[in-house]
Amino acid sequence: MKKKITIAIDGFSSTGKSTIAKKLAKKLNYIHIDTGAMYRAITLYAMNKEYIKKDFFDKEKLITDLPNINISFKFNKEKNSNDTYLNGENVEDKIRSITLSNFVSHVASIPEVRKKLVKIQREIAKNKGVVMDGRDIGTVVLPNADLKLFLTASADKRATRRYKELISKGEKVSFDEVLKNVQDRDFFDSNRSDSPLTEAEDAINIDNSDMGLEEQFEHIMGLINNL
C-alpha cells in the first residue's frame, strides 16, 4: 500500500478491537491507539483519588482535576504494543481489572472527559498512519477516516473471551460477573447522551462470533488493499 491512511475500529466491548488493531498496525507499520485505555486511565486516576468508590462518584471533583491528568503512550518493544501511561506511570496492568471495568462507562459518559480525550486522539491521528479503536472513532473522533470497521459478536462469545483473559491474569471472577459487565457496558455505552456507541453509516460491519483472528486479519487486509 502506498499512501498512509487512518483506520477507525469501533464496536461493543470485548469484540477484539484492540487485538486486531494491534496486528494491523504491526503489519502496516502504523501507530495503534487503544482509546478505551485512555478512558480506563482516567478511571484509575479517579479511583486513586477516591473520587470513585463503591456506589459513589464525585464527578465534579474529577472534572475540576482533569487539567492535572496527563495520558500518554509509549511503545513497549518486548510486547510489540503501546503501554498506557498516567502522569508518567505505566498503568497498563492496572487498568484492566473487573473493578475498574465496572466504573469506566460512567467516567466515559462525562462530556468534559470525552472532550479532553477526543482532542488528544485527533492530534495523534493528524499525520495518518494510525489504527485507532474505541466506540466513537468513526462517528466523532475521525469522521473522515479512510476505513471504518464496526466489530460485533454475541454477548456470550465476548464474555467467554474476556473471562478467559481475566482468569489467565489471575483475577478471581465468575463468568456471570463478566457477562453482566459486558452487557451493562453495552447498554451504558449505547445509551449515553454524549457520543453514544453507534455504527457509522459508512462503516463495514464484521461479526466475528465465529471468526478467528487470522480470518479477520486477512479479510481486513483485503479491504485495505482494495481502497
What is the contact surface with ligand DC in residues (CB under 6 A)? 13, 35-36, 39-40, 104-105, 108, 134-137, 185, 189
Report the nearest approach of ligand DC to the CB of residue 139 (Å): 10
Instruction: Give the residue with the Cβ less far from ligand DC, 29 or 144.
Output: 144
Report the nearest approach of ligand DC to the CB of residue 101 (Å): 7
Instruction: Give the residue with the Cβ less far from ligand DC, 13 or 216.
Output: 13
Instruction: Give the residue with the Cβ less far from ligand DC, 104 or 166.
Output: 104
* Residue 6 CB contacts under 8 Å (≥ 6 apart), including other chains: 125, 128, 129, 130, 132, 142, 144, 145, 146, 147
Report the nearest approach of ligand DC to the CB of residue 171 (Å): 15
Instruction: Give the residue with the Cβ less far from ligand DC, 5 or 120.
Output: 120
Q: Parallel, antiparallel, or unpaired: how do β-strands 56-57 and 52-53 relate?
A: antiparallel
Instruction: Give the residue with the Cβ less far from ligand DC, 165 or 218.
Output: 165
Q: How far apart are CA 40 and CA 103, in angstroms?
A: 9
Q: How far apart are CA 49 and CA 52, in angstroms?
A: 8
User: Residue 222 to residues 92, 142, 202, 213: CA-CA distances in angstroms?
Assistant: 31, 22, 17, 14
12 three-state secondary structure: coil
Report the nearest approach of ligand DC to the CB of residue 2 (Å): 29
Q: Which three cell numbers stand for residue 137?
A: 472513532
Q: How far apart are CA 100 and CA 93, in angstroms?
A: 12
Report the nearest approach of ligand DC to the CB of residue 71 (Å): 12
